[in-house]
Copies of this chain bind each other. A is one copy, B any other.
Amino acid sequence: MRPSGRTPAQLRPVRITRNYTCHAEGSVLIEFGNTKVLCTASVEENVPPFLKGKGQGWVTAEYGMLPRSTNSRMKREAAQGKQSGRTQEIQRLIGRSLRAVVDMKALGERQIVLDCDVIQADGGTRTASITGAFVALTDAINGLIAAGKLAASPIREHVAAISVGVVGSTPVLDLDYVEDSDCETDMNVVMTASGRFIEIQGTAEGEPFSRAEMNALLDLADAGIRELIVLQGQALQA
């Protein structure tokens, strides 16, 4: 029995609220249980210098945690004068994951910036960010289509992400903070609607893990991500 009372293969209640704030072209609050992340998509009609004049667009992401999104207060990165290694690692992951499902040529010479800011943290903030940012990105792109700036969507397919891990020898889906602090192996999986992987990051926190364990974790992740993609679709229909 998991601390939250969930079965090993059970996601936390997931809630996706679109148009959560009013200024951004896409604005989504995604909740995985007590983890709450605000994902906004901002359309900018320019591209980074290395892409100038190449006839393609760009998708990138930034990530942050509010200082008291966590159990004990974290130092504010803006006051520290730099982003931690962890922050940079996560925002690079979010950016790569979304770029993988967008046709950059079809997007045209514009950039979409995804800001993922953690309002409340209880494990799984990076996977919630990817899953929510996809919805915000879709809203921003639909806005471009509605405004006649794009003829068709450059999004190839849905993408979502989930964490899986081995806790007390049992492979479980969607770890909350208590499980995450305690797990032997932690894996973040980013997958598309077609069941193919964009990113797999598995880390042994304590004991190294076997190939069999990895396979069990990937089975869990596969099912979890399929569920999330259904939820994304429902939110986008609403």
Taken together, the copies of this chain in the complex come to 6
The answer to whether A71 touches B23, judged by C-beta atoms less than 8 angstroms apart, is yes
Question: Which residues of chain B come closer than 8 Å to A196, judged between CB atoms?
Answer: 204, 207-210
The answer to whether A113 touches B77, judged by C-beta atoms less than 8 angstroms apart, is no
Minimum distance in angstroms from A238 CB to a CB of chain B = 21
The answer to whether B208 touches A203, judged by C-beta atoms less than 8 angstroms apart, is no
Let me know if A68 is at the binding interface, CB within 8 A: yes
Per-residue interface assignment for chain A, residues 193 to 207, with 1 indicating a CB less than 8 Å from any chain B CB and 0 otherwise: 011111111111001
A interface size (C-beta, 8 A): 65
List A41-64 residues whose CB lies under 8 Å from chain B. 42, 44, 62, 64
A62 to B73: give the CA distance in the assembly, Å.
12
The answer to whether B119 touches A38, judged by C-beta atoms less than 8 angstroms apart, is yes
Identify the closest chain B residue to A23 (Cβ).
B71
Question: Which residues of chain B come closer than 8 Å to A176, judged between CB atoms?
Answer: none
Minimum distance in angstroms from A84 CB to a CB of chain B = 8
The answer to whether B209 touches A68, judged by C-beta atoms less than 8 angstroms apart, is no
A86 to B91: give the CA distance in the assembly, Å.
11
**Interface centre among A86, A115, A121, by most B CB within 10 Å?**
A115
Let me know if A228 is at the binding interface, CB within 8 A: no
Let me know if A24 is at the binding interface, CB within 8 A: yes
A residues at B contact (CB < 8 Å): 21-24, 27, 34, 36, 38, 40, 42, 44, 62, 64, 66-73, 76-83, 85-89, 91-92, 96, 100, 113, 115, 117, 119-121, 187, 191-192, 194-204, 207-211, 214, 218
